[in-house]
Amino acid sequence: MMENLTAQQVRDVIEGRGCTQIPVLYDLWIYPSVMEKEQAQVEAMLEKYPRDVQEVFLRFPDMYDAPEEDGDYRWAAAGGKHREGVGLDADVVIEDWEDAEEFFERFPSPDYPGLIPEFQKDGKRYLLARWWYLYFERLWSLRGMENALTDFYLYPDEVHRLFGKLTDFYERAMERAGKELDADGFFASDDIGTQNSPFFSLEIFREFFKPYYKRLCDKAHELGMHFWLHTCGNVELFLEDFIEIGLDVIHPIQKGTMDEKKIADVYGDRICILAGFDVQQAIPFGSPEEVRKEVRYLIDTFDRGRGRFMLTMGNGTTPDWKKESLEALYEETCAYGGRE
């Protein structure tokens, strides 16, 4: 088993103070249970290689199901349930903003005791407190994708009210995670890009998203912590704004959506890039040698020897991933990235 980096070494990388080794975070997105026939082998393989960050998922509200001890700890109003026969992005919870007062009045409380899970920090590695669905993802999960994309124009006040309430919830959850878990950073998701472009204009981003993202970055820094953001797709349009508000880590610079060399050259000295290895083509369909070649390309493209670069997967495991490709991924990363 290779030695993991310390929390301070990872902090140095994130903040651009340099590190002789590239943090390896592939395991954050590798789910061995998805590779059913090879689950035990993949789990054993992961133990051999660096796992430079610990993670713990905060127990945020479910959409419809509430815990027995707190019937209001869910996003949907009492009695709500999944729609049958529709896609995830059409499962509308708030049909009409005019009928949303109950939703806002019984908004879940971030002081719910179960929000912070029992967890043992190992005392050495950097600890991430994670959650899914930030602003856009939470909006469309409540309103459906079609409504969400028009709400910015038709119901701007309601969107701001929602995002403000969400931010209040997140800030309190962050305070608790900092105190109760002694976490080092937060990692949340908000997919605001498509394969070719952002979901919305820079003007919409600056009016509806930037102020709330800034509050979370400011809160993390106030707590002496970092804020990490996962956002799929082409989000180059927003990178300058993310840097301006103090976002510490951006993931994944998705393969095939942006010019990686340009991103590295223009932004690589000002924000830590958690580069995501290609999960659409290389891992499921590439040969082990093609995987090794892509590892070398990512390191050559993003590594400047001064930090602000870490490696992980672009997204989570799917059943078509190959164990031999994962082995090649780790072997080449450690050999070419100076971890052997």
In this predicted model, what pLDDT tens digit does every residue of 252-268 receive, in sequence order? 999 999 999 999 999 99
In the block, residue with structure tokens 């590892």: 295
- For all residues of the chain together, what is the average pLDDT? 95
Per domain, the residue ranges of the chain are 7-56+85-337
In DSSP terms, which residues pair with 55 in a beta bridge?
128
In this predicted model, what pLDDT tens digit does every residue of 4-13 receive, in sequence order? 999 999 999 9
Look at residues 146, 148, 151, 123 and name the one whose alpha carbon lies nearest to residue 138: 148
Q: Which two tokens stand for residue 329?
A: 């991924």
**DSSP annotation string for 220-264:** HHHTT-EEEEE--S--GGGHHHHHHTT--EEE---TTTS-HHHHH
Q: Which two tokens stand for residue 55?
A: 């993670």
Edge-to-edge strand list for the sheet holding 126-131: 53-57, 126-131, 185-189, 226-230, 249-251, 272-277, 309-313
Question: Can you point out the beta strands (E) in 23-174?
Answer: 53-57, 126-131
From first to last of its 340 residues, what are the pLDDT tens digits of the chain?
789 999 999 999 999 998 779 999 999 999 999 998 899 999 999 999 999 999 999 999 999 999 999 989 999 876 677 788 888 888 888 999 998 998 999 999 999 999 999 999 999 999 999 999 999 999 999 999 999 999 999 999 999 999 999 999 999 999 999 999 999 999 999 999 999 999 999 999 999 999 999 999 999 999 999 999 999 999 999 999 999 999 999 999 999 999 999 999 999 999 999 999 999 999 999 999 999 999 999 999 999 888 999 999 999 999 999 999 999 999 999 999 887 7
Cα–Cα dist 152/149, whole Å: 7
7-56+85-337 under CATH 3.90.870.40, yes or no: no
Cα–Cα dist 62/261, whole Å: 39
The reported pTM is 0.96
Type and span of the H or E element at 320? none
Supply angle C-alpha 312, 39, 119, rounded to 5. 65
